[in-house]
Amino acid sequence: MPAHSHRHPIQQNGSRHKHRSKRVLSGLMILSADRNLRFIYTSHSMRDILGYTWEELSDIGLAELWHPEERSALENKLDWTLANQTTGGMIFQSLRHQSGEFIRCCLYYHVVYDQIMIITTRMNGRPSTLSHSLTNRQVYETIPPDTPGGMWSIAKWTTGLQDLPRIVQTGLFILAQPFRYISTMRQRPHPLRTFLLMDRFTDSARITYVSNERLVPALQILDRSFYSLVAPLNRQSVRHRIDCAKRKIPVLQEDRRSGLQDSFRFSLLREPHEEPPEYLSVADIIQVEGIITAYSDGLGCLLIKL
């Protein structure tokens, strides 16, 4: 994949992956935002999670790895997800490992126009046991039928408490009614957004991928520090958020730390500046919400214009 193109992630230097292990926590997939879910890119860690090489995935789509009994429900949910350009969604489902067995995985996803960014974690328990889901308002799970031979469905997990800190402490979840896609539902306008990938092993958070140019000049910022896009007054706090994301989602699996998403607001520069000018006008900045998520071999950041 050409390293100069903003449509393809820059391959990481192999020396940066000396920590790779079969116990990696999570990996990244970028897919086409259609029913084929064609693989555009996978991080190195996905091989440790699902067992496939990039060559084995490059000619297929994620839907080919779905469990046959879950397929109908997942196709129904996918239609809704694509129609609504969902960001910050999460689903617990089965995926076929290269060995042929099906394993339970947590897929945290953002739909950004023609692409879907998915961070995948192998599951060992229920959704309520993974702290990823405690800060997420859209958590779904494929569930088996009540009777033999029945249809699988997708249920939405909703928090039983309004106070988020209390939710994190108690981990209380209520299983809502099975999810059903309503094709006539009214859609709201989608805000401008893009997502970036960054190198978690460099202090500068070097940008390795930009999904589109709707908010940032993609070709100008590749290989540059993410902080060069952040207004000076926000740089220290954004750096703190990124450092926290790395600690919450370490490279290797740890039961004590399974990671949380982190959403915050800051001022984004329209043009990258290592040393910004003393005076910045309103026209020089864009107010955005950033959602930072780490995975075993990188960092992902969704930017949404406010």
Average pLDDT (187-211) is 89
- pLDDT for 92-115, tens place per residue? 899 999 999 999 998 999 999 999
Where does a domain end: 154, 178, 202?
178
Neighbours of 279 (CB within 10 A): 6
- 3-state class (DSSP) for residue 80: helix
Greater confidence, 35 or 257? 35
Q: Is the pLDDT of residue 202 over 80?
A: yes
Which residue(s) pair with 42 in the sheet?
Answer: 29
Closest CA to 96 of 73, 125, 71, 133: 71
Report the chain's terminal Cα–Cα distance, integer Å.
33
Tokens read off for 10: 């820059």
> Which residue has 């995975």 as its token pair?
295
- How far is Cα 125 from Cα 121, in angstroms, rounded to an integer? 12
Tokens read off for 251: 């490279």
- How far is Cα 16 from Cα 249, in angstroms, rounded to an integer? 17
- pLDDT for 114-142, tens place per residue? 999 999 988 765 554 455 545 555 778 88
Structural domain includes residue 224:
yes
Structural domain includes residue 2:
no
Please give the share of the chain, as a percent, with pLDDT higher than 70. Answer: 74
- pLDDT for 277-286, tens place per residue? 778 888 889 9
Same domain, 27 and 152: yes
Structural domain includes residue 186:
no
What single string gives the DSSP state of each residue in 2-50?
-TT-TTSPPPPPGGGGTT--TTB-EEEEEEESSTT-BEEEE-THHHHHH
Tokens read off for 65: 């790895």
- Domain hosting 200: range is 193-305
Same domain, 234 and 106: no
Are 10 and 223 in contact by the 8 Å Cβ rule? The answer is yes
Same domain, 200 and 161: no
Distances (CA, A) of 16 to 45, 194, 243, 245, 296: 12, 26, 18, 18, 11
Where does a domain end: 153, 178, 203?
178
Same domain, 161 and 62: yes
pLDDT band at 177 (very low <50, low <70, confident <90, very high): very low
Same domain, 91 and 213: no
Structural domain includes residue 4:
no
Q: Is the pLDDT of residue 157 over 90?
A: no
